[in-house]
Amino acid sequence: MSAPERIPPRSVTADPDPVELLARGELTVRGRIREASNAALFCTVALDGRKASCVYKPVAGERPLWDFPDGTLAAREVAAHEVSEATGWGLVPPTVLRDGPYGEGMCQLWIDVHAEAELLALVDGEEPEPGWKAIGFAEVGEGRTALLVHADDERLRRLAVLDAVINNADRKGGHLMPTADGRLYGIDHGVTFNVDNKLRTLLWGWAGEPLAPEHVDVLKRLRDGLDGRLGERLAGLITAAETDATRARVDALLASGVHPEPQGEWPAIPWPPV
C-alpha cells in the first residue's frame, strides 16, 4: 500500500460522538503513513452520513518488542485514551479498539496540527529564557551543542502528569499535536503501562517541582477511578499487574507531591527526540 499523495492535517471532528463513529463506522483505507514504526494506515470512517479521517493501526502490523508482550500495543493506545478521559483533560484523541480491513486494531481520530505553535526549540546558552523549560543539551553538528527546551505551557505540564501515570516510554516532540483552537493532544501511546519504570519523555522541565493543586485533584480522581469504573475499563485492555502498577504510580505521585525525575535505570529521553 503506497502513501497517499498528501496526508491531510489531523482534524478533530465536530461529530457529537466521535467514539461511536470510530467504533461502528465503515473504515476505508486511503494510504500508509510511512514514517510510523508500526503499520499505521490513514483512513476515512463513515456512519449514517457522518464522516471523519482517522488512523488505523492493525495488531497484525505491530513489530515485536523485547519488553512488551506481542500484539498489545493497540490496546495500550486505547487504555491511554481511557485514562486521559478520566482526567477530564482530553489529552488523547478519541481512540477505540475495533475490527478493520486488516483485522483488529486501534482506530484514532485524525488531528489537525497548528503548524505555527512552537513547543520545542534549540537555543544557545546555558539556561532557558523566560517561558521555556530546559530538557538538556544536544549535539547539533560540527562539535556544537545547543540547549533543548520546551515551552513552559500548562497543556504540556498536564501531559507530563498523564505520561507519568501511564508510564509513557516514548514521548517525542512529533507526538505533540497543538491545534488552532488552542488545544493540545498527545498521540502514539503503544509503549505505555509497563510494570517497570520506563518513563522516557521530552517533558522533563518540571522534574522535581511541586505538582499543582489541579494535578493533585486529578490524581485523586484517577486513584478512585482505578478502583471503580476506570479500572473496569482498563481490565479488557491491559493486565491486572499493569493496572496495579498504574495505581502504584498514582499513589507515588500523590505521596511525593512532585513531578517525577529521571531515575537512571532507563534512558530518560527518547531517540530520536522528535
| For residues 200-213, average pLDDT | 96
Q: Per-residue pLDDT tens for 85-109?
A: 999 999 999 999 999 999 999 999 9
pLDDT band at 6 (very low <50, low <70, confident <90, very high): very low
Q: CA neighbours within 13 Å on the CB side: how many for 156?
A: 25
pLDDT bucket at 125, cuts 50 / 70 / 90: confident
pLDDT at residue 145, rounded to an integer: 86
Which regions of 142-205 does DSSP assign to beta strands (E)?
A: 144-151, 176-178, 184-186
d(CA 7, CA 19): 22
C-alpha to C-alpha distance for 21 and 123, rounded to whole angstroms: 43
In angstroms, the first-to-last Cα distance of the chain is 25
H/E run at residue 52 = strand 50-58
Nearest to 123 by CA among 141, 147, 152: 147
Residue 99: predicted pLDDT = 97
Average pLDDT over residues 113-132: 88
Q: Which residues contact 232 (CB under 8 A, 6 or more apart)?
A: none
In a 3-state reduction of DSSP, which class is residue 266? coil
Beta bridge partners of 56: 41, 107
Query: Closest Cα to residue 165, out of 88, 248, 96?
Result: 248
Model pLDDT, residue 102: 96
The alpha-carbon radius of gyration of the chain (Å, integer) is 19
Q: What percent of the chain has pLDDT over 70?
A: 92
Ramachandran area for residue 262 (φ above 0: left; ψ -120 to 50: alpha; else beta): beta
Q: What is the mean pLDDT of the chain?
A: 91
Q: What is the pLDDT of residue 5?
A: 33
Whether the Cβ atoms of residue 168 and residue 91 lie closer than 8 Å to each other = no
pTM given for the model: 0.91
Query: Phi and psi for 113 in degrees, rounded to 5?
Result: -85, 135
User: Which amino acid, one-letter code, is at 119?
Assistant: L
Q: What is the pLDDT of residue 9?
A: 41
Query: Per the structure block, which three cell numbers stand in for 239?
Result: 493486565
Angle (nearest 5°) at CA 204 between 263 and 242? 55
